[in-house]
A = this chain, B = another copy of it.
Amino acid sequence: MSDDRQTPVDELRQLVRTFVAERNWESFHNPKNLAMSLSIEAGELMEHFQWLSLDEARRRAADPQHREAIADEVADCLAYVLAMADAVGLDLSTELRRKMIKNADKYPLEPRDPSTD
């Protein structure tokens, strides 16, 4: 798990962008189509866990026999998030930082009770 430490987000975006451009698929990469596509891929990811308990789902994700197929679906989901960012013109790092601050406002940390220190 070291590549993610060295790979800039834009390098992955470029990978998807080139794939799309080489096939002249830009016109298909409409925001509506891409939102649908992400949802479709999320559905394929859910299929791996559809009938499992939470414990079984965890074991399934760790099982070498299922791991690559699960990773395939996670990668496809990421590819569509990156493609959407391209189609809409969003800097994902900026947007994620902004949104996580919003999420932190929505789910504030519980204040520590100093009497229990």
Show the binding face of A for B, using Cβ within 8 Å. 1-13, 15-16, 19, 22-23, 28, 30-33, 35-40, 42-54, 57-58, 60-62, 67, 70-72, 74-79, 81, 84-85, 87-100, 102-104, 107, 109
**Pair B58/A79 contact, Cβ less than 8 Å:** no
What's the least CB distance linking A106 to chain B, in Å?
11
**Pair A87/B100 contact, Cβ less than 8 Å:** no
Among A10, A16, A28, A87, the one with the most B-chain Cβ atoms within 10 Å of its Cβ is A10
**Pair B96/A78 contact, Cβ less than 8 Å:** yes
| Known A-B contacts A12-B9, A57-B32; A75 and B88 likewise in contact (beta carbons under 8 Å) | no
**Pair A8/B4 contact, Cβ less than 8 Å:** yes
CB-CB under 8 A from A100, the residues of chain B are 15-16, 19, 75, 79
Residue of B nearest to A45 (CB): B35
CB-CB under 8 A from A71, the residues of chain B are 88, 90, 95, 98-99
**Pair A53/B50 contact, Cβ less than 8 Å:** no
**Pair B46/A39 contact, Cβ less than 8 Å:** yes
Residue of B nearest to A103 (CB): B19
| Known A-B contacts A4-B9, A46-B36, A103-B19; A75 and B96 likewise in contact (beta carbons under 8 Å) | yes
